[in-house]
Structure 1
Amino acid sequence: MIASTDASATPDIICIGETMALVTPTDAPLAGAHQATISLAGAESNVAAGIAAAGRTVAWASRLGDDPLGIRISTELARRGIQLWTETDDVAPTGVMFKDPGAEGSSVLYYRRASAASRMSPGFLAPERLAGARIVHTTGITPALSPSTRAMVDQLFDDARTAGARVSFDVNDRRALWSRQDAADTLARLADAADITFVGRDEAERIWGTATASEIRQFLPGCSLLVVKDGDVGATAFDGDAEPVFVPAPTVDVVEPVGAGDAFAAGFLAATLEDRPMAERLQAGHNAAARVLRIAADMPPID
């Protein structure tokens, strides 16, 4: 049984995927730390937060453990105006992620194997639940969690289209979750099958060997709308047979890069709901990403 914080308002966008508790040491690397903060980390909920901040209705669907960390996550997302379509698992826990800061940057440790979210399976969202939504969004993290979540994503693509929604997919490769070959094959299949696909140029080169935006488009010809992000260079959109549109990224004093890609997707999707010209959609993505790049958090601040 999926519980919702608001069953009356049909969301414009539904985001589905795992959100974990995030523990970040504040006084030293993890091995010697005595103080830490607890927040949350999840690509799909980051996107949901950005869409809510843009003034659109959005739902986040997932499973959480019956534990204080699950309560903490759901409380924070509800505070941001996100509808919660969640199941509570009284056996499997909420996943946890630790940041380990170091001189060369932060590394991460995942404790998400056999988490509540990894137990999502086909039919987790019944097709009738998707009715009325315009976009269903997920990422390449979700199919990497378990065989059942991979099967769920495959069915989600079909069910979303049956319900009349477009499928949005952010490649978001996570090396720690699966083998390079498994990731390359599965992510290519899903990215090419989506209606809207986001991928980083460097990410695509790492997993598929495609060095340029044009090469990525040739590699993913089936995707209706492909958005290739190239860090501080800019982003290029390939919309069907139309000429590609490139918009340069603004200059930003970066505080923390984590979450910027999710913010970009949120800004772009919110502008897509308004059927704005492609250059404006890309600019909206850049503006949303810049807002997150300037702060230490992964989500935009609540105004």
Structure 2
Amino acid sequence: MSSSAPAHRPGRSARREPDEPRVVVLGDVLDDIIVAPAKRLARGTDTVARVRHRAGGSAANTAAWLASQGVRVDFIGRVGAGDVQRHSQLLVDAGVEPHLAWSSAEITGTVVIVVDGSTRTMLTDRGASAELDFDALTDTLLHGASIVHVTGYSIVQERTPVAYRKLVSRVREAGALISVDPASSGFIADFGPAAFLDLVDGADLFFPSLDEGRLLTGLQEPDDIVHALAERFGAVALTLPTGGAVAGKQGAKLVHAAPASSRLVDPVGTGDGFSAGFLAGWLHSPSVALSTRRGTNTAARVRAVVGGRPSR
């Protein structure tokens, strides 16, 4: 048995004027177990490692980084029944307005993330997040939203394209933009790169990583990937492993943004932070150059903390 009823909110996020631009983020909220081995893993025995527990989920991370920049954010997600209060409070503390449904049949999703320098290897149990229904975005929440941001984790979970296409239609009718972060080359590979690209074709904003861009286009060079994807999307920002990005729109000169200076503490959530920074910039001024720079600045902040959300 499960419920789609909104969770009781333990508190309220910071009050903002109702006419401020607002972003609705729809997707995964998870528990991260971040493992940084001190040396190469030793099979069949112990390896000393730094292990940290953090709240995560690509969509929830993006919501938190948006709120950290003063953006008004509603987050829609799904957790295990016993975690509604905890995850709601964590989002409220981050400045996000949470709307969490719960499942008694599934636990909150969990990801074990093994970090090796700037590389992450993830073992993912999506748990209750896999049951998230796009209809959880009610007309009330959609009304007045400027952007609706969705991650690929939730898109590929649907067995048919009907639910996502219905979501896009509702977002368009409401006058909002649709923003997509593919989020996982592994899940996209299982879903089918061509099928995924066809499904999300036409999104206003698209945020692939370099690995995801290569998978979706079959191309290798960042500039070539952005040119190819810009034929399908309103604006494309391709994130690079260094923390930099290449972005552009069809027929326009590409923007190359170097990574902002920061000390690499943990790469987890770098792409989520970039998306948040770009979206915050786009709300202020729909400039690819300015938004990309804001994205790389936010990505640098993410790399300087352990976990995928702002430090408290």
1:39 deviates by 1.9
Out of 82, 86, 96, the position equivalent to 1:67 is 82
Task: Select which of 30, 50, 54 maps to 1:20.
Answer: 30
Report the equivalent of 1:162: 173
Structure 2 partner of 1:98 = 112
Q: Assess if the C-alpha contact under 8 Å between 1:258 and 1:298 holds in 2.
A: yes
The more displaced of 4-13 and 35-44 is: 4-13
1:285 aligns with 2:295: yes
Over the aligned positions, Cα root-mean-square deviation in angstroms equals: 3.1
Distance, in Å, in 1 between the alignment partners of 2:302 and 2:123 is 22
Distance 2:183 2:28 in 1: 13
Percent identical among aligned pairs is 24
Which 10-residue stretch deviates more, 158-167 or 186-195?
Answer: 186-195
Find the residue that maps to 1:108 and give its secondary structure.
strand
Distance between the aligned counterparts of 1:273 and 1:291, measured in 2? 20
Task: Find 1:197's aligned residue among 179, 203, 206.
Answer: 206
After superposition, give the CA deviation of every residue in 1:58-108 in whole Å (9 maximum; x if it has no partner). 01101111014x433222111111001121223322112223567996533
Quote the Cα distance in structure 2 between the aligned partners of 1:221 and 1:80: 36
TM-score under structure 1 length normalisation: 0.84
Q: Does residue 136 of structure 1 match 2:148?
A: yes
CA distance in 2, matches of 1:26, 1:184: 30
Distance 1:190 1:211 in 2: 22
Q: Residue 170 and residue 254 in structure 1: after superposition, are their counterparts in 2 closer, same or farther (change >3 A)?
A: same
- Tell me the amino acid that sits aligned with residue 196 of structure 2: L
What's the counterpart of residue 117 of structure 1?
A: 129
Partners of 2:36 and 2:114 within 8 A in 1: no
- 2:206 is paired with a residue whose SS is strand
CA contact (8 A) 2:146 2:175 kept: yes
Question: Which of 103, 108, 118 does residue 89 from structure 1 map onto?
Answer: 103
Question: Which runs of 5 or more structure 1 residues have no equivalent in the other structure?
Answer: none
Q: Give the aligned partner of residue 253 of structure 2.
A: 243
Q: Structure 2: how far apart are the matches of 1:99 and 1:165?
A: 34
- The unaligned stretches of length 5 or more in structure 2 are none
1:128 and 1:163 in contact (8 A); partners too: no
The whole-number CA distance in structure 2 between the counterparts of 1:271 and 1:119 is 31
Closer, same or farther: CA 162–106 of 1 in aligned 2, 3 Å = closer
Tell me which of 67, 77, 94 is aligned to 1:52: 67
Q: Report the Cα distance in structure 1 between the residues aligned to 2:114 and 2:277, rounded to whole angstroms.
A: 29
User: 2:6: which partner in 1?
Assistant: 2
Q: Give the count of matched residue pairs.
A: 296
Alpha-carbon offset, residue 131 of structure 1: 0.9
* Contact map agreement 2:226 2:237 (CA 8 A) in 1: no
The alignment status of 1:269 with 2:279, answered yes or no, reads yes
Query: Are residues 15 and 222 of structure 1, via their aligned partners in 2, closer, same or farther at CA, if it must alter by over 3 Å?
Result: same
Residue type of the alignment partner of 2:289: A
Q: Which secondary structure state, in structure 2, belongs to the residue aligned with residue 61 of structure 1?
A: strand
Code of the residue aligned with 2:282 in structure 1: it is T
**Structure 1 counterpart of 2:235, one-letter code:** L
Q: Deviations over 1:136-179 (max 9, x none)?
A: 0011111223427x64333221111111110011122241x46x
Judging changes above 3 Å, is the alpha-carbon distance between structure 1 residues 93 and 248 closer, same or farther for their aligned structure 2 residues? same
User: How far apart in 2 are the matches of 1:202 and 1:106?
Assistant: 12
Query: Cα 1:151–1:74, aligned 2, differ >3 Å: closer, same or farther?
Result: farther
d(CA) in 2 for partners of 1:166, 1:4? 29
The answer (yes or no) to whether the contact 1:237–1:246 under 8 Å persists in 2 is: yes
Query: Cα distance, 1:264 vs. partner?
Result: 0.8
When the two structures are superposed, what TM-score results if normalisation uses the length of structure 2? 0.82
Instruction: Provide closer, same or farther for how the CA distance between residues 167 and 92 of structure 1 changes in structure 2, counting only shifts above 3 A.
Output: same
Following superposition, the deviation at residue 257 of structure 1 comes to 1.2
Counterpart CA distance in 1 for 2:8 and 2:103 is: 15
